[in-house]
Amino acid sequence: MPGRIARTKTAERVSEILGSREGRRHLADHGWVQGMPIVMAVPTEPINDVMGLVSMHGRPALVAMLDNQLDVLKFLYISTPNSALRAVEDWDASSVTHPVPVFGPSSESITYAHRFGA
């Protein structure tokens, strides 16, 4: 169909979280800033492929992955490469990565399942 853009479930869920004030606040509490690159990945994707996409941005990024079995959107915060860290095979420098806790709306708001049609 002309004019339609193919979007993955991961991209749709990321858009939903970024479209909510509560979701943006949650991500910001864990390092996200407006305009930060978000790389979409699948949990089985080779880490070298994902890090290759992250490294193209040359700045911190989030990696978003949808766990289809649990229907949970997961994020990893990836720092910029740092030569002070021990380098790993195939990389000039290493980055620090930490998982962002799974987003869950506050008890006063609509449940996650209702809000995002899960």
Report the C-alpha gap between 58 and 36 in whole angstroms.
11
* pLDDT tens, residue by residue, 85-110: 777 777 666 788 899 999 976 655 45
The answer to whether residue 110 sits within a structural domain is no
Among 80, 104, 100, CA closest to 31: 100
The answer to whether residue 86 sits within a structural domain is yes
* pLDDT tens, residue by residue, 58-93: 899 999 999 988 889 999 999 987 777 777 777 666
The answer to whether residue 32 sits within a structural domain is yes
Among 85, 66, 64, CA closest to 76: 64
Residue 6: strand, helix, or coil: coil
The answer to whether residue 111 sits within a structural domain is no
Domain count, the chain: 1
The answer to whether residue 72 sits within a structural domain is yes
The answer to whether residue 80 sits within a structural domain is yes
Domain membership of residue 69 as a residue range = 9-103
The answer to whether residue 117 sits within a structural domain is no
